[in-house]
Amino acid sequence: MFGVVPKVLWSRGQDVDGENRILLATRTLIAQHLPTGRIVLVDTGTGSKWSDDDAARYGIESRAEAIDEALSKVGADAGSVTDVIVTHLHFDHCGGMSEWSSGAGGKTRLRFGNAQHWIHRQHYDHAHAPTLRDRASFLRVDFAALDGNDLVRFLEGDEPACDIPGLGFELSHGHTPYQLIPVFDVGDGRELIFVGDMAPTGAHILPAWVMAYDLYPLRTVEERLRLHQRCGERDTMIAFPHDLQCGIVRLDVSGKKPTVGEVLLP
C-alpha cells in the first residue's frame, strides 16, 4: 500500500499483522439527489462472491448486507438505486456490483438491477486487456455482468459528463487508466470528491506516498498536487475509499505538508 516508503515511516499509527497486512475499509459512497430522488452509489466494495481460500489470502471480511443496511438508513434498498458509479474495475471497488445468479461459481447478475452503471469506456477496455503487472487486480467474474448489458452507460473522452444533476467527473490515470473521480456539487459552493485509489487513505495525501499498485506513479504525484491546489482554492470535502478512520474529511493544505484536517464523517 505504500510502495517505496519505508515501513518505519508508514507503520506509525497502523496496526500491522504477522503477515505484514494492515486493516483497510472498502467504502461505498451513497449520494441522494433529493429533488429527483436519484440514489447514486460510488463503488461497491469486494462483494461476497469470494471463496473462503481467496478471502483468507487478503483477510477479506465481506458482509453482503452492509450496503443494504446503509441504504435502508435513507429509506432505500438495492432496487431503488438509480445509478452506480464504477470508479475502476479493481476487485475491491466493483466486486459488490454483481452476485451469483443461482449457485456459487455459475453466472452472475448485477446486484442493483434497476441502476444505470457508469464507467469510462477506456477503463472498461483496459480491464479486458490489462498488463501483466495489474491483471491480478481485475477479476472477470466481478464485471462479466456488464458485458452487453443495457444498464451500462459508457463515459467517453477526457471530459466525461453524465445526466445526474450536480455530478461531474475528473479523470485519474496514475493508479490505473481512466479511473473516474466523481465530484458532487453539494450546494453553498461546496463540493465533495470521491478520490478513489488516487489517494486511498488519509496517509496517501502525501504526494510521494504512492502505492506499489500504481501503474504510473509520477502521474499519481501530479494528480495529488493538483488536488491539494484545488482544496486550497475551493471548499472541497474528500471521501477516501479505503481509510478505516476517515470517511469524509477536509484537507489542511496551509502548511508545508498537506494533512487531514477536519474529519466530517468517521
C-alpha cell at 20: 505484514
| Beta-carbon contacts of residue 226 (< 8 Å; ≥ 6 apart) | none
Taking the least distance from each CB to Zn ion, the nearer of 71 and 119 is 119
Taking the least distance from each CB to Zn ion, the nearer of 38 and 243 is 243
Q: Using CB atoms, what's the residue nearest to Zn ion?
A: 90
Nearest one of 73, 70, 82 to 40, comparing CA atoms: 82
Beta bridge partners of 109: 99
Count Cβ neighbours within 10 Å for each residue of 99-110 and write b for 16 or more, e otherwise.
beeeeeeeebeb
Q: For the window 150-189, what string marks contact with Zn ion as x by the rule CB under 5 A?
A: ----------------------------------------
3-state secondary structure of 228: helix
- Residue 233: CB minimum distance to Zn ion, A: 27
Residues 122-141 that bind Zn ion (CB under 5 A): none
Taking the least distance from each CB to Zn ion, the nearer of 98 and 172 is 172
- Residue 93: CB minimum distance to Zn ion, A: 6
| Beta-carbon contacts of residue 9 (< 8 Å; ≥ 6 apart) | 2
Which of 20-28, 88-96, 119-127, 231-239 is the region at the interface with Zn ion (rule: CB under 5 A)? 88-96
- Residue 90 binding Zn ion, by CB under 5 A: yes
Chain centroid to Cα 253, Å, comes to: 23
Q: For the window 186-205, what string marks contact with Zn ion as x by the rule CB under 5 A?
A: -----------x--------
- Residue 243 binding Zn ion, by CB under 5 A: no
CA-CA-CA-CA torsion sign (14, 15, 19, 23): negative
Spatial separation of the C-alpha atoms in residues 81 and 43, rounded to whole Å? 13
Taking the least distance from each CB to Zn ion, the nearer of 90 and 173 is 90
- Residue 43 binding Zn ion, by CB under 5 A: no
Q: Which residues bind Zn ion (CB under 5 A)?
A: 90, 197
